[in-house]
Chain A
């Protein structure tokens, strides 16, 4: 299968200028390739840099050195060097991200929050809402919540809204930060079904899953994150 993510020599350190220039090294020479149809689970203890790696892959953390290449419309874009508008174009069509927590926009209904990635691709409002409704129904989010803004929802409800938003546009590369952390077993299972379905349809996935049952079910491979990176066979 085609490689969609190619990370070479990624190094990330945070320099805290207002704390005596303290330098916190997090990632050192990370190499990672992910092909279409693969789901790579990042493994390692808290503080090892799993979330930092995921954010470097999305481009909201700036690499200190190395290359973070994402396949976009038949070409490679290195997020460590790309201009902001190139990164936005990659995110629009090729790169999806499900963060741990939903960043709520005041007043926007759940249905529109989920439909937004399709609207951004130019899909007409009614069609986008229909697809959003189908996805929310599959995630068993009660229908009376669809027309409310998700600000007051429970953690598990917000997380399902966030996942629906991340999956709806079927972007070829998907980054998942603890997608089932606030869910009960039944709901976690439904989310896992959708993620696995996306992978079988050719999505390249990198995720952090603390729930080992979910991780073993979804991951085709583990990638250990530490200062001495190594691949562990699944």
Chain B
């Protein structure tokens, strides 16, 4: 079985500074990969490279485009890349305000992505949007309200609905639970876990929170100073870390 995403030796330099160096991995359909590491380790740069928001200096990123097999993303036109981002992929921003359109209603935020894949029937779009608001446990009666009136946790759930409504095969998430209250985090994590399993999504999740990684991810990629220092099965990396940096990271977590 060939992978959904194949990454070979990608790097990004910002002048003298290394954003991300020589990263390679494969991701299969339905697999959840967590990228962990501290601030400045290159996690977010990696996510931006993968999602073609910034271009890699070296290497290649191949994606299984429906009906075409593995295609080097650099060989896609800009229009084709945008199409992928709007339909087959999702990107959940750490700050929901960056991923939502704050000046249109909750329903329109969800409906917009549906229209991008060709939905035109107003009633059907509204029904699907209502259905998705409920799936992410938002009150469907608030469909016509602006997201500015929603709490941080509600905005994050709305952003997730907006991303998943087109049934993407691959979702990128940048610290999806950071900045939320712990009780709100738990609810969001449980929801994400359920949706990922039900929809068979593949996901790359950037997080500095090892507990989030343990709950959601099949595999881990540990990054430090732009490089991958350790990779493996989630519970193996967390229970029996091999690299000095991973050992330090795991040993530094406070137990409750």
* Interface positions of A (Cβ within 8 A of B): 14, 16-18, 55, 59-62, 84-85, 87-88, 105-108, 119-120
A61: B residues at CB distance < 8 A:
236, 239-240
Given A84-B232, A105-B190, A107-B187, 20 other A-B contacts at CB below 8 A? Answer: A14-B240, A16-B247, A17-B244, A17-B247, A18-B244, A59-B233, A59-B236, A60-B235, A60-B239, A61-B236, A61-B239, A85-B28, A85-B31, A85-B219, A87-B233, A87-B236, A88-B218, A106-B186, A119-B197, A120-B197
Cβ contacts under 8 Å, A14 to chain B:
240
Complex-state Cα separation, A108 to B187, whole angstroms: 10
**Smallest CB–CB gap between B20 and chain A, Å?**
22
Q: Are the C-beta atoms of A84 and B218 separated by less than 8 Å?
A: yes
CB of B243 within 8 A of chain A? yes
Number of A-B contacts (CB under 8 A): 51
B251 to A62, Cβ gap below 8 A? Answer: no
A105 adjacent to B247 (CB under 8 Å): no
Interfacial chain A residues near B239, Cβ < 8 Å: 55, 60-61
How far, in Å, is A229 (CB) from chain B's closest CB?
Answer: 21
B215 at the interface (CB under 8 A from A): yes
* A interface footprint on B213-236 (CB within 8 Å = 1, 0 otherwise): 001001100000000000011011
B236 and A62 within 8 A (CB): yes
Contacts of B13 in A (CB 8 A): none
The smallest C-beta distance from B125 to any residue of chain A, in angstroms, reads: 29
Please determine whether B31 and A60 come into contact, CB atoms closer than 8 angstroms: no
Q: Which residues of A contact B190 (CB under 8 A)?
A: 105-108
Contacting B219 at CB < 8 Å: which of A18, A84, A105? A84
* Residues in chain A near residue B236, CB distance under 8 A: 59-62, 84, 87
Query: Cα distance A55–B236 when bound, in Å?
Result: 9
Instruction: Find A17's partner among B215, B218, B219, B243 (CB 8 Å cutoff).
Output: B243
Q: Main SS of the interface on chain B?
A: helix
Complex interface: chain A residues within 8 A of B39 (CB):
none
B189 interface residue (CB < 8 Å to A)? yes
**A85–B218 contact, CB under 8 A?**
yes
For chain B, which range describes its interface: under 10, 10 to 19, 20 to 34, or 35 or more residues? 20 to 34
Query: Do B233 and A88 touch across chains, with their CB atoms under 8 A apart?
Result: yes
Closest chain B residue to A19 by CB distance? B247
Instruction: Tell me the complex Cα distance, A179–B203, Å.
Output: 34
Q: Give the distance in Å from the alpha carbon of A119 to the alpha carbon of B200 in the complex.
A: 13
B254 contacts the other chain (CB 8 A): no
CB distance from A41 to the nearest CB of B (A): 23
Q: Are B189 and A106 in contact (CB under 8 A)?
A: yes
Q: Given A85-B31, A106-B187, does the pair A60, B240 have CB atoms closer than 8 Å?
A: yes
Q: Lowest 7 A-B CB distances belong to which pairs?
A: A17-B244, A106-B186, A84-B233, A60-B235, A60-B239, A61-B240, A107-B190
Residues of chain A within 8 A of B103, CB atoms compared: none
B215 touches A105 (CB 8 A): yes
Is B2's beta carbon under 8 Å from chain A?
Answer: no
Q: Is B233's CB under 8 angstroms from A18's CB?
A: no
Residues of A near B219 (CB, < 8 A) are 84-85
Which of A61, A84, A87, A119 gathers most chain B CB within 10 Å?
Answer: A84
CB neighbours (8 Å) of B247 from chain A are 16-18
Give B242's nearest chain A residue, CB to CB.
Answer: A62
Residues of A within 8 A of B242 (CB): 62
Closest beta carbon of chain B to A149's beta carbon, Å: 10
B240 and A62 contacting across the interface, CB-CB below 8 Å: yes
Closest A residue, CB atoms, query B234: A84
Q: List 23 A-B contacts (CB under 8 A).
A: A16-B247, A17-B244, A17-B247, A18-B244, A18-B247, A18-B251, A55-B240, A59-B236, A60-B233, A60-B235, A60-B239, A61-B236, A62-B236, A62-B240, A84-B218, A84-B219, A84-B232, A84-B236, A85-B31, A85-B219, A88-B218, A106-B187, A106-B189
